[in-house]
Amino acid sequence: MTKPSESTSSTILTRRLRPIVGKATLTLFTFILLVAFLSPFAYMFATATKDREQISQVRPLWPAKEETFTYTGETKTVTFGDEEITLESGAEYDIYFVPTEDGGERRLAMVAPRRQVSYFIDPSNPEAGVFEWEGVWRKLDRAWTFEIQLDNFVRAWNELNFPLIVRNTLIIAVGGMIGTLISSILVAYGFSRFRIPGKSIFFIILVGTIILPRQVTLIPTYALFARIGWVGTFLPLIVPHFFANAYNVFLLRQYFMTIPKEMDEAAMIDGASPMRTLLSIILPQAMPAVVTVGLFHFVFAWNDYFTPLIYLSAKRDLQPISVAIQLYNARYAFEVNMIQATALLGLAVPLIIFFFAQRVFMRGVVTTGVEK
pLDDT digits 0-9 by tens, 52-73: 777 777 666 778 888 888 888 8
Stretch among 2-6, 103-107, 250-254, 341-345 having the lowest mean pLDDT: 2-6
At residue 226, the pLDDT reads 92
Residues 6+ apart with CB under 8 A from 39: none
CA distances from 12 to 1, 2, 9, 18, 20 (A): 18, 16, 5, 10, 13
Q: Does 120 map to a domain? A: yes
pLDDT tens per residue across span 290-331: 888 998 899 899 999 999 999 998 888 899 999 998 888 888
Q: What is the DSSP letter of 246?
A: H
Mean pLDDT of the chain: 84
In the prediction, which pLDDT does 371 show?
Answer: 37
- Predicted local confidence at residue 314, as pLDDT: 83
CATH number for the domain harbouring residue 250 = 1.10.3720.10
Residue 370 lies in a domain: no
Residues 280 and 161 reside in one and the same domain? yes
Task: Give CA–CA dist 165/321, Å, rounded.
Answer: 5
3-state secondary structure 116-179: CEEEEECCCCHHHCEEEEECCHHHCEECEEECCCCHHHHHHHHHHCHHHHHHHHHHHHHHHHHH
CA distances from 364 to 103, 261, 284, 325, 361 (A): 60, 20, 13, 31, 5
Say if 53 falls within a structural domain: no
Confidence of residue 372 (pLDDT cuts 50, 70, 90): very low
Q: Is the pTM of this model over 0.95?
A: no
The answer on pLDDT for 142 being more than 70 is yes
* DSSP helix, strand, coil percent of the chain (3-state; round to 5): 60, 15, 25
Is residue 30 one of the residues assigned to a domain? yes
One-letter amino acid for residue 35 of the chain: V
Q: Which of 91, 112, 146 is the C-terminal boundary of a domain?
A: 146
Residue 9, pLDDT score: 64
Residue 103 within any structural domain of the chain: yes
Which of 31 and 333 is assigned the larger pLDDT?
Answer: 31
3-state class (DSSP) for residue 22:
helix
Q: Are residues 138 and 231 both part of a single domain? A: no
- Compute the residue count for the chain: 372
Per the structure, the complete domain to which residue 251 belongs is given by: 152-365
pLDDT greater at residue 5 or residue 290: 290
pLDDT digits (tens, 9 = 90+) for 45-54: 888 888 877 7
In a domain, 16, yes or no: yes
pLDDT at 362: 64
Q: Per-residue confidence at 233, pLDDT binned at 50, 70, 90?
A: very high
Rounded Cα distance, 322 and 172, in Å: 12
Count how many domains the chain has.
3
Residues 187 and 205 grouped into a single domain: yes
Q: What is the pLDDT of residue 368?
A: 39
**Can you give the pLDDT at residue 370?**
36
More confident: 252 or 22:
252
Q: Which of 119-123, 233-237, 262-266, 311-315 has the highest mean pLDDT?
A: 233-237
pLDDT confidence of residue 184: 93
d(CA 12, CA 179): 62
**Helix (H) and strand (E) counts for the chain?**
15, 10
- List all residues 6 or more positions away from 332 whose beta carbon is below 8 Å from its beta carbon: 338, 339
Residues 213 and 359 in one domain: yes
Question: Rounded to the nearest 5 degrees, what angle is found at the Cα of 25, between the Cα atoms of 20 and 27?
Answer: 95
Instruction: Answer yes or no: do 138 and 245 share one domain.
Output: no
